[in-house]
């Protein structure tokens, strides 16, 4: 077990150099939640209603803002108000993948102005270091954080081996802005304390017929030592009450974390 995986989120928050990571780790212990819900719905009101329901159970809301058909500036204001009401951070899962100059514009401008409201966003590293430098020029002065996609949950992903390794090195080099990874597991031997977030989490099914692969909170948090579970359809796609489902995942993730930190 890695040393960092045995520490509590608060112990890590107390010494963490990145402001967003510090805030996130603090509120994880405060809310007893390592759950991020991926709200992949296409109507503004559906999104806002669901977020208000699940808000008490999550530490981080994950959005795909570009799938919302009736997006407007008011939606962002309401999301930010819900984040304050329920105390969670917002992660826009934009998966930037272009050259530095283009991602700077995509992050700061256009319809969505992501940098103005999302505490966290993420990018692929396929373009090389320039993508991080470009996003950092916009995000660092605003106190934002970046996650690198070091691995993916989907079947046949090409983000493996030397690609993953090179991604970890880029994160270490830019650890003022890179606060963590999207990954399937905690990477051993890192110098900085990166927050590892893992999608592809489900308690009831193993896949979705389109390449998604699900593992349980126990496998992800306890065995693979990741920090945050990202759950989408498991929470809102079963037809059962979403607030209750979010609580079920929050509990499962939290209990797995408690088992992990007790393995001293
Ligand atoms: O490798 C990945 C990375 C991400 S961010 N695999 C993923 O599934 N995701 C995202 O996590 C994906 O875009 C979706 O929003 C969420 C998983 O949703 P679910 O409904 O399959 O739980």
**Contact 183/151 with Cβ under 8 angstroms?**
yes
User: Would residue 95 show up in a list of annotated catalytic residues for this protein?
Assistant: yes
Does the structure show a pLDDT above 80 at 32? yes
Atom of ligand 1 at shortest distance to CA of 38? 15
Distance of CA 253 to the CA centre of its chain: 14
Give residue-wise pLDDT tens across range 210-230.
999 999 999 999 999 999 999
HEC profile of 170-232: HHHHCCCCEEEEECCCCCCCCCCCCEEEECCECCCCCECCCCCECECHHHHHHHCCCCEEEEC
Atom of ligand 1 at shortest distance to CA of 234? 22
Strands, E, within the chain: which ranges?
Answer: 35-39, 60-63, 89-96, 120-123, 145-149, 178-182, 195-198, 228-231
pLDDT at 264: 62
Q: Kindly state the tokens that stand for 101.
A: 């100059």
When divided into structural domains, the chain yields a total of 1
Give residue-wise pLDDT tens across range 90-102.
999 999 999 999 9
Residues with Cβ within 6 A of ligand 1? 38, 40, 64, 93, 152-154, 182, 199-200, 212, 230-234
The whole domain housing 235 covers: 4-261
CA dihedral 248, 253, 259, 263 (to 10 degrees): 170
Give residue-wise pLDDT tens across range 172-211.
999 999 999 999 999 999 999 999 999 999 999 999 999 9
Tell me the pTM: 0.98
Q: How far is CA 65 from CA 24, 40, 61, 104, 143, in A?
A: 21, 9, 12, 17, 20
Question: CATH no. for residue 249?
Answer: 3.20.20.70
Give me ligand 1 centre to Cα 264, in Å: 32
Q: How far apart are CA 124 and CA 126, in angstroms?
A: 6
């Amino acid at each position: 077990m890695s040393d960092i995986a045995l520490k509590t989120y608060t112990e890590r928050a107390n010494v963490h150099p990145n402001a967003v990571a510090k805030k996130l780790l603090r509120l994880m212990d405060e809310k007893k939640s390592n759950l991020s819900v991926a709200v992949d719905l296409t109507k503004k009101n559906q999104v806002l209603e669901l977020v208000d329901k699940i808000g008490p159970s999550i530490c981080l809301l994950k959005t795909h803002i570009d799938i919302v058909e009736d997006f407007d500036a008011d939606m962002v204001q309401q999301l930010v108000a819900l984040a304050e009401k329920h105390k969670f951070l917002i992660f826009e899962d934009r998966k930037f993948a272009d050259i530095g100059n283009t991602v700077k514009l995509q992050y700061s401008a256009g319809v969505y102005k992501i940098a103005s409201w999302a505490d966290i966003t993420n990018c692929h590293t396929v373009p090389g270091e320039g993508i991080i430098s470009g996003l950092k020029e916009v995000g660092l002065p605003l106190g934002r954080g970046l996650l690198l996609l070091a691995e993916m949950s989907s079947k046949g992903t090409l983000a493996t081996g030397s690609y993953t390794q090179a991604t970890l090195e880029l994160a270490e080099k830019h650890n003022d802005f890179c606060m963590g990874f999207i990954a399937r597991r905690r990477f051993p031997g890192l110098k900085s304390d990166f927050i590892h977030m893992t999608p592809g989490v489900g308690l009831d099914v193993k896949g979705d017929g389109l390449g998604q692969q699900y593992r349980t909170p126990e496998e992800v948090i306890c065995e693979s030592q990741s920090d945050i579970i990202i759950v989408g359809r498991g929470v809102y796609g079963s037809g059962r009450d979403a607030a209750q489902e979010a609580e079920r995942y929050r509990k499962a993730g939290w209990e797995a974390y408690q088992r992990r930190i007790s393995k001293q």
